[in-house]
Amino acid sequence: MKLLVVGNGGREHAFVDRLRRDAPEARLFAAPGNPGMASLARLVPIGSDDIDGLADFARDERIDLTIVGPEAPLAAGLANRFQTRDLPVFGPTAAGARLEASKAFAKALMREHGVPTASYETFQDPSAALDYLAGHDEPLVVKASGLAAGKGAVVCETRDDARAAVEAMMVHARFGDAGAKVVIEEFMRGVELSVFFVADGERAVPLITSRDYKRVGEGDRGLNTGGMGAYAPAAPSDPDFIERVRQDIAQPVLDAMAEAGTPYRGFLYAGLMLTETGPRVVEFNCRMGDPETQVVLPLMRSNLLDAMIRVARGESLAGWACRPDERAAVVTVMASAGYPETSDPGRVIALPDFPAEEVVVYHAGTTIEDERLVTAGGRVLGVTGFGATLEEAGARSREAAERIEFEGSHFRSDIGWHELAPDRLTAAEVELLTSSGAPLAT
């Protein structure tokens, strides 16, 4: 069997690692991949945005399944192109990817089909958006409707902050065309949770819950990033809660897409806010999250490749379920100097060896220069620690990150604090997290 993974980040490194375990005898390819994948797969110098180049490679190499990691090629129609050429691919078509590529589309679909989410309005005219802000309660959230590498949502404490965000997106084109249309939402109070599903067009099968950390600084302070760390499993994760999310959130979306003649097949990522009235959708993504993938996939005991092959063939996922490991996992993202506003490429990385059962290092922004491993992006490495408890997993992740060296590196040492340091939570947040009987550290 030949398998191709599209992408070059930590998420894709985790996919390659997962596939190597699911199919030890398979020939793996990664396009374009990164140095961390080189011992597991053959790296192919084709960018994830080169859809024709990827399709030609898959045809010429007779690839049995292509797995697409990032959202941009899915939104650009990679799955459509592969399907028209009878090339097996796992990932939604461009119509399905609109759930992420157009927040305006996703919000309208949720409103029409009763999926719980924040109240909102959509604007294409900056003046109308600014007028709307004048009468909106504080705080609020301003989102670029299009793809903005996970950085297009701005939580605004005041209307002045919101005006600045609208002007940055719509007038100054901070996110390019992605910010030409904006969604302005009410601010939801609660605790965030990531729930991932594998969808076959009719049903959604849940994976392991996780929680990620977007702010660059300790204590969830500072600028938004693509993600500074994550842990799994995350409370609440009991079967009754997950079934409620499946029925109230994932299933209506799949039903709506099927009714529109565009059945959704691939990963469906529901970013949730746990509120006093129940889980509400913050956003949908059309792929797995990064860095959540680096803690979710290693904890799976089920064969994920089997599920992806079924979906790519248009078959049912009936009978397939995600069986979780009994361990916990924490990933600490090591970033380069200046991130998230800039990156600092070319810094030599000193990467020691770690016991594989305790720590796995996923490469994200790395490359080889003069036979040396160096930085090549904002988020450089994802250091995943495993343990019998979340506390043990977190300690292993942080201790390993402290041993890795490159100039200007920085990372958060508080990943997992929602459950490891509940004294920092409000009484309402503790109640939300323990509603499923999830144990919190004391």
- The reply to whether 361 and 292 lie within a common domain is no
101 within a domain of the structure (yes/no): no
418 within a domain of the structure (yes/no): no
Would the pLDDT of 24 be above 50? yes
- The reply to whether 330 and 253 lie within a common domain is no
The pLDDT, as a whole number, for residue 152 is: 85
- The reply to whether 198 and 241 lie within a common domain is yes
Average pLDDT over residues 319-328: 96
- The reply to whether 29 and 47 lie within a common domain is yes
pTM of the model: 0.93
- The reply to whether 303 and 217 lie within a common domain is yes
419 within a domain of the structure (yes/no): no
Measured distance CA(401)–CA(190) in Å, rounded: 30
CATH of the domain at 222: 3.30.470.20
DSSP assignments along 360-399, one per residue: EEEESSEEEETTEEEE-SSEEEEEEEEESSHHHHHHHHHH
Average pLDDT over residues 260-281: 95
- The reply to whether 216 and 365 lie within a common domain is no
Average pLDDT over residues 115-125: 94
Q: How many domains is the chain built from?
A: 4
Average pLDDT over residues 249-276: 97
- The reply to whether 296 and 352 lie within a common domain is no
255 within a domain of the structure (yes/no): yes
- The reply to whether 344 and 316 lie within a common domain is no
The pLDDT, as a whole number, for residue 430 is: 79
Would the pLDDT of 439 be above 60? no
Mean pLDDT (the chain, rounded): 94
Expressed as residue numbers, the domain containing 390 is 326-411
- The reply to whether 299 and 438 lie within a common domain is yes
Q: How confident is the model at residue 442 (pLDDT cuts 50, 70, 90)?
A: very low
- The reply to whether 137 and 284 lie within a common domain is no
Average pLDDT over residues 410-416: 97
- The reply to whether 440 and 304 lie within a common domain is yes
Q: What is the 3-state secondary structure (H, E, C) of 6-31?
A: EECCHHHHHHHHHHHHHCCCCEEEEE
Residue in the structure block whose two tokens are 């009878």: 86
Say if residue 2 is exposed, middle or buried (CB neighbours under 10 Å; 0-12, 13-18, 19+): middle
- The reply to whether 133 and 263 lie within a common domain is no
